[in-house]
Structure 1
Amino acid sequence: MLFQIKSYLKFLWNSKNAHGVHSPFVFDLVTKCFYDKAKYPEYAILKNYRKSLLENKNFIEVKDFGAGSKVFKSNKRAIAKIAKTAGITVKRAELLFRVVRYFKPENVLEIGTSLGLATSAISLGNISSEITTLEGCPETAGIAQLQFQKNNFNVNSVITEFERYLKSLNPEPRTLNLIYFDGNHQKEATLSYFELLLHTATNNSVWIFDDIHWSKAMEEAWEIIKKHPKVTVTIDTFQWGFVFFRKEQQKENFVIRANDSKWLNAVLGLRKLYGLID
């Protein structure tokens, strides 16, 4: 926890809002998507999806294949508590919805379904997307599949070990317009998935890595990804790391406050005080 607090303070100190961004591509993304204040009707669907999980009193046996949980001490877990503590937050689900709505990806891969909270945001963001979501735990995937059916989400849910599935993908030309990495918060696994999926990336692909500041090792993985020669633009929003492969862009790394709230701007006051503001 102490590590993440220090990382967050460092993030706040170094971060910018839209006014500190000089790339037209990133500026548009931040102002038209990240800071979009519209009240979309899909938000109500996302909240109802979450509400149904929070009201679920059942327990499931969870198989952890990744870095494990910092909250749960046992693999027998209440569905409601998973949704409350381990699932994507309301604000993040809304942001993910806006990102998908903004880029309109045709083919999406999600690594780590969990209870499907993020999957629902992706599905609602572009109802015509072909979405494949991977989950290693059968019982967790089963709950998500029931939710997808209940909400008529067109999602291909696959129960599998992630690396085995990624290795099985045909290396022939195949594009994935958006990939959401949220299945294994370990350095080696993250870098392995990154390398295994590089052949699917196009000039317009959007990759989102969750929990890039989860640990020192995950920060190291993020730094390696940023320096990869095929990566041109990255955006660190603390919770997520966005990766782009746009050849027309000069290589540049941004640290952006995705939620430009007033309390975060207190850091700007300190930067102004010490003459560090852009």
Structure 2
Amino acid sequence: MYRIWSYFTFFIRSTNQYGIHSPFVYQYLTQCLYRKSRKHRSKVQKVLIKSIPYFKYKSVELFTDQQQYLEAVREEYPEVESGRKPSDLIFIGGDYFEKFDFESLEEYSHNRTMILLEGIYENRRNREVWNQLCKKARIRVSIDFYHGGILFLRKEQEKQHFRIRI
């Protein structure tokens, strides 16, 4: 019942690219996320795979036990490094939400880092963690797309939160 209600409230409050007033987020949506992909993947996998070339990321850190994410990144971008600190892109799978130490994000991130979280509406606990992360002063841009969430640390940007239908 929680997931049905949370999707309903998300759908009512969310927008598409036309409701976005941030040039950075608008370009990211229209030039990256809304582009058609060749392979059938989950929404979170599509965001992960499409974001690497768009931002020209060289290093990715994946915190998940699900091999499909690691395999997808290695298949599409074999030149992308893994395990380097700080990382350009950090992915935290839904299976790591409970055990991940979100305070350790400092050591894995820099100003251009994108943090992708899977399953932010999976349960109330994940939703609370997502809301706490969005409130952190270091997080400047947060994008909620129901199946996951994206956080950017861009110091040069005003703090903004978006709910987007992808």
| TM-score w.r.t. length of structure 1 | 0.55
**Aligned residue identity for 1:184:** Y
Distance 1:217 1:92 in 2: 19
Task: State the distance in 1 between where 2:44 and 2:153 align.
Answer: 23
| Partners of 2:139 and 2:46 in 1: CA distance | 26
Is contact 1:237-1:256 (8 Å) kept? yes
Within 5 Å, give how 1:159-198 maps onto structure 2.
174-182=85-93, 183-186=95-98, 189-190=99-100, 192=101, 194-198=102-106
Aligned residues: 165
Q: Which runs of 5+ in 1 are unaligned?
A: 48-88, 133-168, 259-278
Matched, 1:121 2:72: yes
Identity %: 28
Deviation at 1:203, TM superposition (A): 1.1
* 1:135-157 CA distance string (max 9 Å, x none): xxxxxxxxxxxxxxxxxxxxxxx
Gaps in structure 2 of 5+ consecutive residues: none
Partner residue in 1 for 2:161: 253
> Which amino acid in 1 is paired with 2:145?
T
Higher relative contact order (CA 8 A, sep 6+): 2
Deviations 1:88-123 (A, max 9, x none): x54543332112221232111101132x21122223
Structure 1 position 201 matched with structure 2 position 152: no
List aligned pairs for 1:98-109, cutoff 5 A.
Answer: 98-109=50-61
**Contact in 2 for aligned 1:96/1:121 (Cα 8 Å):** no
Are 1:225 and 2:136 counterparts? no
Deviant stretches of 4+, over 6 Å: none
Name 2:28's counterpart in structure 1: 29
Q: Which stretch shows the higher mean deviation, 175-184 or 92-101?
A: 92-101
TM-score, normalized by length of structure 2? Answer: 0.90
3-state SS of the aligned residue for 2:111? coil
Q: Which amino acid aligns with 1:109?
A: E
Partners of 2:53 and 2:76 in 1: CA distance = 4
1:105 counterpart SS class: coil
Q: Is the contact between residue 140 and residue 157 of structure 2 (CA under 8 Å) also seen in structure 1?
A: yes
Which entry has the higher C-alpha Rg, 1 or 2?
A: 1
